[in-house]
Amino acid sequence: MNGFAILIAVAIVTFIQSCSSGNSSPLMSPKNSKIYVVAHRGAHFEEKIPENSLPAYQKAIDIGADFVEIDVRMTKDGNFVSMHNGNVNKYVVEDIDKDVSDMTLAEIKKLDIGSRVGEKWKGTHVPTFEEILDLCRGKIGIYLDLKQAQVRPLIEILRSKGMLHDVIWYADDNELEEIKKTEPECIIMPDPGPEKYLPELIDRFHPDVVASVWKYMSASFVKTCHEAGAIVIVDDKGPGTWKPMLEWGVDGIQTDKPEELIRFLKE
């Protein structure tokens, strides 16, 4: 066999392998084994760091997670911050019964979200979307949970920072439709809920990534996604759910215990 024939043979084998790999994900390769590790609200739980804070996101970077999950909300004056609950009262020592949407960014930035967690974190503030992007760029991906915010300004920010491909979007179906119409390069991550709705979701969105939760997870769910060219990222229900999910072939796990999950994958 001459050199040209050898090159053709290698190319054919490579093509066949790529077609049978289960998906053609646009995401970077996982850092830990073959599984994407998503740090839920940052790596906050294991060392008691304020959730959705820059220190929690930095910790996720330090331990080698693949994504940080952020909850995006819009302030009264049109800025974007990361906070899970709509009301800020849970996160501060003082009694401040206000919603993010009723506060300006300046008012949000005055909040101390660290003291309630521990003296070490006193003075920790709510991060803006831009601050999170600047911290994470080139170091870790972003799993964007769209809580209450306008799509188009967020996309403009991502575009200006060259980070359209660094973010996977979790949102409701109508918002996902808007995202794809506004910027087709954005990576959406629809969630069908129960498995019976999965074929309809795949037909509607043709997604590269599908989100789900442990409650609805099964080997057949993963198989259907892989056959459609999509990877599956699942919210866990504690460490006891990791082994069966790996056996079923899930591609990523979102967890409050990312450091423990990384150790589990390495072992």
Catalytic residue among 84, 125, 165, 226: 84
Strand partners, 255: 39
Separation of alpha carbons 249 and 212, rounded Å: 13
Q: How many CB atoms lie within 10 A of CB 229?
A: 16
44 is catalytic: no
Helix, strand, coil share (%) of the chain residues, nearest 5 = 45, 20, 40
Nearest to 262 by CA among 62, 23, 47, 26: 62
125 is catalytic: no
C-alpha dist (Å) from residue 38 to 25, 116, 258: 16, 25, 7
Nearest to 261 by CA among 78, 58, 37, 53: 37
Nearest to 212 by CA among 186, 231, 184: 231
Size of the chain in residues? 267
The residues carrying an active-site annotation are 40, 84
